[in-house]
Amino acid sequence: MKKISAALTLSIATIATGFLVGACGDSSTPNGTANNGTTATPAANSTTTSSTKGLKIGSLLPTTGDLASVGQQMVGSVPLLVDTVNACGGVNGEPVSLVQVDDQTDPRAGAAGMTKLATLDKVAGVVGSFASSVSSAAVSIATPNKVMLVSPGSTSPIFTEKAQKGDYKGFWARTAPPDTYQALALAQLARKKGFKRVSTVVINNDYGVGFEKAFVQTFEKLGGTIVNKDKPVRYDPKAQTFDTEAAAAFAGKPDAVLAVLYAETGSLFLKAAYQQGVTKGVQILLTDGVKSPTFPEQVGKGSDGKYILTGAIGTVPGSDGKALEAFNKLWKDKKGSEPGEYAPQAWDAAALLILAAEAAKENTGVGIASKIREVAGGSGTEVTDVCEGLKLLKDGKKINYQGASGNVDVDANGDVVGVYDVWTVGDDGKIKVIDQVTPK
């Protein structure tokens, strides 16, 4: 998806209120009762847990669209965090309210959802979005409305560049590291495995193009060759067929093809490449956009009955935070399963919003923005438990939150540095993590 233009974003911000009922109307669970038992107003694409006063936050994450398979793994983290906090007294003496919006992996829907959250729901902070293209649209609305936006998964380097220019005025951060680090990790992995000639194919949006740029620069510095550097393959996420792109990406007999994809369209691309017979003998390198348990099945099996993706390798931001074990246990106790991709990052994003509000002693976006870096990586007492952190802050003490995904030390540009899991697809079609790397 091509980056939404500034003019279009402003237009959406202006008119979005007029079509919110159709795009992201007022919200509830299906029976009109929100997750914490409070009454909510029925609507289509969002869920509200409401309180008449106190801190109000939102989530803007994809449960439908091209990234639904990953989004659905992470979306449960935010209400779980809110329930945990409310059980230990809330923030600034009041319960926390949550408004959940499905951004549909679409910048237009994301802009509408962000406008609703900022102007109608009047939230102070938002966990979101996941797709970089959606976050680009959302942050341009969050910033003038003084809403703190913390993304658990938008990894495009464009956010660092714009933050350095002062575009976000401190109302942007993320708990997943930018793709400059992941591209470095994947390029180092490719060279370590002996690949000298690599082609690229990416989804044509902020995420794909930003990753491509960072990977090409790093891989060439390491002595590798990008076979299609002069004719990069960037596919339209709205396309229905990918035969031309598949042929172009695998042309020139590369050792490997870096494929920066989203799951729904990416599965169609990889099927097209297999059906053309061009994948044989070529290593497939993948990234976080497709790392979900269902993706190998989406791509399917070949004529020999084996999974097409067997042997593919990829990277994904990992989690190695001091709070990870406790988070995994809580998730399993409450949901009976293991947390999925980016669930720890989403938990940490919500935690930072809540801790910063308590530190600021006010339930506003301005207050959160003024304290979020301090609670994330300041000189205070290290805490892994959000409730413990809230208690210390209430007592006037400073904290340094150590998250589930990592230490979440948010820098001046809103960035964190993380580790990366290396994963592969087995003969049984299951994804397994085989290593963990830190970019150097």
Residue of 347, 8, 349, 436 whose CA lies nearest to 150: 349
State whether residue 409 is helix, strand or coil: coil
What distances in angstroms separate CA 36 from CA 20, 43, 83, 328, one per listed residue?
25, 17, 7, 21
- Please name the fold of domain 6-177+321-401: Rossmann fold (3.40.50)
For the chain, the average pLDDT equals: 89
**58-106 pLDDT, tens per residue?**
999 999 999 999 999 999 999 999 999 999 999 999 999 999 999 999 9
Tell me: pLDDT of 20 over 90: no
pLDDT band at 53 (very low <50, low <70, confident <90, very high): confident
Residue of 267, 266, 224, 227 whose CA lies nearest to 248: 227
Cα–Cα distance for residue pair 23/17, rounded to 1 Å = 10
Domains of the chain, residue spans? 6-177+321-401, 180-319+419-437
pLDDT band at 49 (very low <50, low <70, confident <90, very high): low
Cα–Cα distance for residue pair 81/343, rounded to 1 Å = 11
CA 229 to chain centre: 27
**182-205 pLDDT, tens per residue?**
999 999 999 999 999 999 999 999
Q: Do 6-177+321-401 and 180-319+419-437 show the same overall fold? A: yes
pLDDT band at 23 (very low <50, low <70, confident <90, very high): very low
Find out if CATH 3.30.420.10 is the number for domain 180-319+419-437.
Answer: no
Cα–Cα distance for residue pair 420/436, rounded to 1 Å = 6
Average pLDDT score over residue span 415-440: 92
